[in-house]
A and B are shown apart, each in its own frame.
Chain A
Amino acid sequence: MRRFYAILIAAALVYMLISFISTVPSYGKADLKERVSDAFLSKSVNAQNAKAWLEGKAIHRQPAKEIYGKKVKEEGSANVVTSIVVNYRSFDTLGEVTVLFTAALGVSLILGGSRRKQYGREANFVLKTSTGILVPLIIMFGAYIFVHGHLTPGGGFPGGTIIAMASLLLYLSDEKFFLSKASTGALEGSMGGTYVIIGLLGLAIGGYFLYNFLPNGVVGNLVSAGIVPLVYVAIGLKVGAELSGLVTDLHSEKEG
């Protein structure tokens, strides 16, 4: 009987959601001219008339223009998603990093301990040998992902997660391996601090928190986009240390 009511409630909810679908533009027909995204894509947010936007009058057409390989005054990263996440809406990302930190802190308060949990089983020979070969490669790949966050898909969060997977592999292959809380905590805290310090430097130099105070360079070069690569390296190391600490908490137990 309960399943019947559950199906009824779920079906009613699905029917309600499907009837709302007609209010959004149909799939594949999104019109970016009505959205702020056009300004983000053409890197011309500063040229917009904020008052007209607030009154809903602005429908703006951006002229086609060359961006790759050129110097763009406003913003210099080739990956537009990165330019939104780390430059235009960087304050949001600082909040996001804080949320992830809070979650990791909660896990460590609930499960954390000072000793490695012993499962009493030896890891397979194949796993042990391949871990030695794979861990450096995985860490290098993670570092590649977050260093190239402003040029290719990826960035600090995926790169950090890949690095944390290297420590998970070490935990699975070795019963005695244990990362001390001091090492992951120190890396995490210093990198989180670096992000805030970069923001405060922007406040001191440009007058806005997280202001991009370094030269933008040529779109598409590795050294470009000002503070964006620096912030993504800080986020990558911070997320890597944070999730490694989370894996450590899952594999540890309290003394006694």
Chain B
Amino acid sequence: MVFWISAILIGIGVYGLLTQKNLFKQLISLSIIDTAVNIFIIAVGYVDNGKAPIYSKAVPKFMEGAFVDPLPQALVLTAIVIGVGVLALGASLLVKVKEKHSSIDVENMKGVGE
């Protein structure tokens, strides 16, 4: 079920990339695809009734099936941080585009060759 959500989110992101003329909306579409992939990776590691992989007084023992898979969570931690970096860099490029061409809409940009 969660896999379906992530596949549909990727579809929404691709649709946004193909149709939107506003560059910021395209950046957000990329961000949606990023989130969809993260959801998919986390969902691959889910175990029914598994706890978060943290040892505590409530779950002091290692047992089979007690915890969800920690490795996808560690990988997604990396992916989220890099997603933030990409989003910040893209947004700052858009600020420059807006300053130079007076618009971030592909059709209204001034001084761009046909």
Q: Which chain A residues have a beta carbon within 8 Å of chain B's beta carbons?
A: 2-3, 5-7, 9-11, 13-14, 17-18, 21, 24-25, 27-30, 32-33, 35-38, 40-43, 61-62, 64-69, 78-81, 84-85, 89, 92-93, 96, 99-100, 102-104, 106-107, 110-111, 151-153, 155, 157, 219-220, 246, 249-250
Contact B64 A27, beta carbon cutoff 8 Å = no
Tell which of B19, B46, B70, B81 touches A28, judged by Cβ atoms closer than 8 Å. B46
Tell yes or no: B109 within 8 A of A by CB: no
8 A-B residue pairs with CB within 8 Å: A2-B18, A9-B14, A13-B14, A40-B70, A41-B67, A65-B62, A79-B53, A110-B89
Contact B62 A64, beta carbon cutoff 8 Å = yes
Given the complex of chains A and B, what is the CA–CA distance between A157 and B76 in angstroms?
Answer: 12
Given the complex of chains A and B, what is the CA–CA distance between A105 and B18 in angstroms?
Answer: 30
Nearest 7 interchain pairs by C-beta:
A103-B85, A68-B60, A14-B11, A6-B18, A80-B53, A28-B48, A17-B7
Q: Which chain B residues have a beta carbon within 8 Å of chain A's beta carbons?
A: 1-4, 7-8, 10-12, 14-15, 18-19, 43-48, 52-57, 59-65, 67-71, 73-74, 77-78, 80-82, 84-86, 88-89, 92-93, 95-96
Given the complex of chains A and B, what is the CA–CA distance between A41 and B84 in angstroms?
Answer: 28
Q: Which residues does chain A contribute within 8 Å of B54, judged by CB atoms?
A: 78-81, 151-153
Given the complex of chains A and B, what is the CA–CA distance between A14 and B63 in angstroms?
Answer: 37
Q: Which residues does chain A contribute within 8 Å of B47, judged by CB atoms?
A: 28-30, 32
A68 (CB) vs chain B CBs: closest residue: B60
Contact B71 A78, beta carbon cutoff 8 Å = no
Known: A41-B62, A111-B96. A29 touches B56 (CB 8 A): no
Contact A110 B82, beta carbon cutoff 8 Å = no
Contact B85 A100, beta carbon cutoff 8 Å = yes
Q: Which residues does chain B contribute within 8 Å of A6, judged by CB atoms?
A: 14-15, 18-19
* Majority-rule SS of B interface residues: helix
Tell which of B11, B46, B67, B78 touches A10, judged by Cβ atoms closer than 8 Å. B11
Contact A68 B74, beta carbon cutoff 8 Å = no
Q: Please give the distance in Å from A213's CB to the nearest CB on chain B.
A: 22
Given the complex of chains A and B, what is the CA–CA distance between A237 and B86 in angstroms?
Answer: 21
Identify which of B10, B48, B85 gathers the most chain A CB atoms within 10 Å of its CB: B85
Q: Which residues does chain A contribute within 8 Å of B69, judged by CB atoms?
A: 30, 32, 35, 37
Q: Please give the distance in Å from A79's CB to the nearest CB on chain B.
A: 5
